[in-house]
Structure 1
């Protein structure tokens, strides 16, 4: 089976490759035997190829590896496409974040003004990719990693329909940590999770017919053992009656997180731009050390992940079990196996709503629990949302759809609407200035 990774020079590609090597060691049925990388930056693709080559050393049955010359070459004959592009690179993220912060609002890359600007820049490119997939590899499945994952998946679905599925590692990480805190086996629990990408809630956690979530919410000591419990605090989690995705920290504690980001010496984008720039330059000069340099850089990246939001909630170090990185690659491979081998699986995915949340358009992409098999993913029935949950979902979906309209039609009014309606942008005047500066 052939897998193509678009954005193949991305820093996290070795995490996907590591999971593929685990399959090779187990001689897993239906495993990937050929991996194709494509990236518009040939230097980055060359460096990542060096990392993967070293990582695969001594692994019997490791997938063959090649870097494609162009997009059509990468797509032709493939079975699955992982789309993990970053339009504008880390420099684009830095600019998005700084424009927003200069106006006194949060600029995280997928949340707030930063997410709006990133989405408008990314969606036209993602749509071009979707059209080439439809033309060159019409039987391929696209698994979208590209952020902002929800709106990018929704845009691509207008071309590819249900053959594009978005994934994120945040929900699966939340389920795993919550299950462990509740004393349950993460592989045995069932869960009720619903929302949009980077805006969702774990509302039920069941093992052997018993919902463990109410007991977990009552147990302050257990809540203090994992990231979301520390981020949000026991009192607020009990008031919500659910465990929010980590990204809801930006909405629930917007004043505190904004202040923490403003007081940081560097934005996250600036840190990654410097760190990754240094890694790629050094690894390109010394390809024999590429894997060693990648490992060291990856650990530093994971240790500093979410530093600003941790600072806003009292400051604490990430648990060692959360420093392995990734998580999304396991979701992606589980999804791929389920589709390729008709191995039934339940996964939290970004797919079209199809009536799961009746108040939201059927074609809109939501993030929820799905049943996956050879025919793709189907959302499972979902209980009614609380008004606070539904209200945030509706407002953010209006923002996402305005971003898509702005990107597709080059519609300035839609772009202004997307920025001004975002809960983290507090004024249409601020939105207009952000939009003007982003176009400059």
Structure 2
């Protein structure tokens, strides 16, 4: 079976390949094609993968290419993890937003909108090429903003595009662990919302929902990452556990202030860190896998550092790192379920199909899905509380405006997308944000007055 990875020179690709190396079952991936527009990054990542495969019998063959059509022809699955504008683009997204006093995070608020506006024209082209060259392939989207990109690509690929994120399953496992589950992986997770805008509302262990015990027993809420991030009192008020990205909404002022005071934003930190990594691997004597491992450990330990600082949550503990869902594991589980018709329940980004009554059928949501050879089918879910419904519908409206702006090239529609976002507090700010992003991103030159 052939797997194509778009963004094949990306830093996290070895996570995917490492997961593939552990798959020994029939129907496994035997060929991995890495596609990227940057040959130097492809060469560096291919070196890491070669080290990973050393001594592993029948490791999947790795092919690298800068030709998109060559990468797509004859493929069975496509994993997409591209970053339009690179990490310099992410750092610019953060700078422009913070200069206006609003959040610049890559998937949430102004930064997420700017990233989406840069990315959608590229993924639109990719979607068209997949439809033409590999119409039977399944497209698994990691590219951020994941829900927005998945919905836009569904217009070309229908239900054959599925978005993934490891945040929900990581949250569920951390809560299951603190509740004493013998096997956190087997807990049933009642989770619903949009990508990076969802809530854990129930957690079943041995047939019983144990989430009420999380709120009633002293000390449990302090035992995992999100409990410390949001605080026990607020979680008890909500009666649910939000995805970690909701910290940007519930504690927006504190997070923006922490970002403004940081020596480097997250994007700038990763830009500099990865520049050193790729430059270091131009030395043929550098140990590729060991170098990558050291950089990855630093990356994971500093994840969402500004939010933890704003909340006084301290450093990430070992359990938070080990209970991470691992997006590569979610992707592999999804691919196995489809390719081998192994029925599985996974939290995925798929078209709504009536799961959330407040949204239309084609709106992409993040929800538990039954997966089999016919794809992913969202399970029925209880309605969200009013405040959560309001947040979900507001952000979905913004996503739709971003898609409309990318399709039409309308600057006015782009301004509307920014202005309607709950974390952008003024139409005047929205106009200045668009001006600022146009000044730093050549890829947004398509936005004009219409």
User: Normalised by the size of structure 2, how large is the TM-score?
Assistant: 0.95
Residue among 208, 227, 230 paired with 2:228: 230
Distance 2:321 2:231 in 1: 22
Match of residue 295 from structure 1: 293
Deviation at 1:398, TM superposition (A): 0.4
Say whether residues 1:425 and 2:424 are aligned partners. Answer: yes
Distance 1:302 1:416 in 2: 34
Partner of 2:227: helix, strand, or coil?
helix
Partner of 1:87: helix, strand, or coil?
coil
Match of residue 8 from structure 2: 8
Gap regions ≥5 residues in structure 1: none
Distance 1:385 1:218 in 2: 22
Partner of 1:82: helix, strand, or coil?
strand
Distance 2:285 2:387 in 1: 51
Partner of 1:381: helix, strand, or coil?
coil
Maintained 8 Å contact 1:399/1:418: yes
Deviation at 1:287, TM superposition (A): 5.7
Alignment of 1:26-425 (within 5 A): 27-184=24-181, 185-286=183-284, 288-323=286-321, 327-425=326-424
Distance 1:418 1:181 in 2: 39
Distance 2:89 2:273 in 1: 15
Maintained 8 Å contact 1:50/1:288: no
Deviation at 1:288, TM superposition (A): 4.3
Maintained 8 Å contact 1:220/1:234: no
Deviation at 1:326, TM superposition (A): 6.7
Deviation at 1:321, TM superposition (A): 3.5
CA shift in 2, pair 1:68/1:227, >3 Å: same
Structural RMSD (CA): 1.1
Partner of 1:408: helix, strand, or coil?
helix
Match of residue 18 from structure 1: 18
Maintained 8 Å contact 2:173/2:187: no
- 1:200-232 Cα distance to aligned partner (Å, 9 max, x none): 001011123311001012234121111111101
Distance 2:379 2:332 in 1: 20
Maintained 8 Å contact 2:225/2:320: no
Deviation at 1:421, TM superposition (A): 1.0
Deviation >3 Å, runs of 4+? 321-326
Partner of 2:417: helix, strand, or coil?
helix
Maintained 8 Å contact 1:12/1:326: no
Distance 1:176 1:61 in 2: 32
Deviation at 1:408, TM superposition (A): 1.3
Deviation at 1:369, TM superposition (A): 0.5
- 1:326-367 Cα distance to aligned partner (Å, 9 max, x none): 700010000000000000000000000001111101101000
Distance 1:231 1:326 in 2: 18
Deviation at 1:118, TM superposition (A): 0.2
Partner of 1:5: helix, strand, or coil?
strand
- 1:169-193 Cα distance to aligned partner (Å, 9 max, x none): 1001001101111111223221211
Partner of 1:255: helix, strand, or coil?
helix
Distance 1:4 1:219 in 2: 47
Maintained 8 Å contact 2:192/2:199: yes
Deviation at 1:148, TM superposition (A): 0.2
